[in-house]
Amino acid sequence: MNYYNEIKNELINNEITKKVKDYSKNRSDLTTYYNVGKLLSEAGKHYGEGIIKKFSLKLINEVGKKYNTTTLKRMRQFYHMVEKGAPLGHQLTWSHYRELLPIKDINEIKYYIYISEEQNLTRDELKNKIKSDDYKRLPIEFKNKLISKEKVEIKDFIKNPIVINNTINKEIISEKALQRIIMEDLPSFLKELGNGFTFVENEYKIKLGNSYNYIDLLLYNIEFNCYVVVELKVTELKKEHIGQIEVYMNYIDKNLRKVTQDKTIGIIICRKDNKFIMEYCSDKRILSKEYKLI
């Protein structure tokens, strides 16, 4: 087989496809780069590692400057990644996959492909998730569910710790201050929680007996069809925090929840020296997550 001619034809045909059929250029890119990567891998077995440099010099002259040694190596790496089990998601672009190439764990790669498609992430958004160790902060149970393709729950998507961008300073000494920095970048906070979270209101006013109380954040999860009560604490988790959020959850269930909606869940965001430790509550609807200020 003449590996060089095969590679050259693949790349030229892809360039033509991108000019004539703009709607299919992304699919064509990924398919072409996979095929080229496969050919480069096979050629390397026959002629050694130096064949990539040799092919690159010819391709730059005959096809285009962008087909340098680095680009060809990425195509070969892309081929190996797909062969290991990474889905060839056509909603993702070549730029997305380039961000994934340095990752060694195939399950981590699958997760980032999954959320990129689910959340329609741009390349920069995917890059930020990788940079913030999005996958590493997921519960081990969720990782196992992704591998075995089990049904997931709302709690599976919530990272631990939750990363909160601190726009004030490193010392947050009150729940009010913590709430304020969350509200200043609410979209990022909702993405930290996972899929389908939408904002209802902060300082949500409820009447308990003869007095008024205020829920720090009231959210709704569209995918799981339920209200979400979020309480913010700048201390470690205490048992009275659990009792408090249970009262709030019961109030929402009684006064807001419709019969077609699932039961309200609660999330307590607390602080524990920024350690990666999760506290467990007796009520399975209550999730306790730590926050990490950056």
Per-domain residue ranges of the chain: 3-83, 153-293
> Are 93 and 29 contacting, i.e. CB atoms less than 8 angstroms apart?
yes
Lowest mean pLDDT among 10-19, 125-134, 249-258: 10-19
Please give the order of strands across the beta sheet that includes 286-293: 162-164, 286-293, 265-270, 226-232, 211-221, 197-208
294 vs 87 pLDDT, higher one: 87
> Are 268 and 286 contacting, i.e. CB atoms less than 8 angstroms apart?
yes
Query: Other CB atoms closer than 10 Å to residue 281's CB: what's the count?
Result: 17
For the cut 70, the answer to whether the pLDDT of residue 19 exceeds it is no
Rounded mean pLDDT of 199-216?
94
Mention every residue, 6+ apart, whose C-beta is less than 8 A from residue 71: 56
Place of tokens 């799981």: 224
Whether the pTM exceeds 0.85: the reply is no
Q: How confident is the model at residue 21 (pLDDT cuts 50, 70, 90)?
A: low
Nearest CA to 131 out of 166, 102, 160, 94 is that of 102
Spatial distance between the Cα atoms of 64 and 21, rounded to a whole number of angstroms: 20
What is the phi-psi region of residue 165: left when phi exceeds 0, alpha when psi lies from -120 to 50, beta otherwise? beta
Q: How confident is the model at residue 198 (pLDDT cuts 50, 70, 90)?
A: very high
Residue 293: HSE in the Cβ half-sphere, 13 Å Cα cutoff = 18
Nearest CA to 158 out of 56, 41, 269 is that of 269
Burial class (CB in 10 A: 0-12, 13-18, 19+), 30: buried
Q: Which CATH architecture has domain 153-293?
A: 3-Layer(aba) Sandwich (3.40)
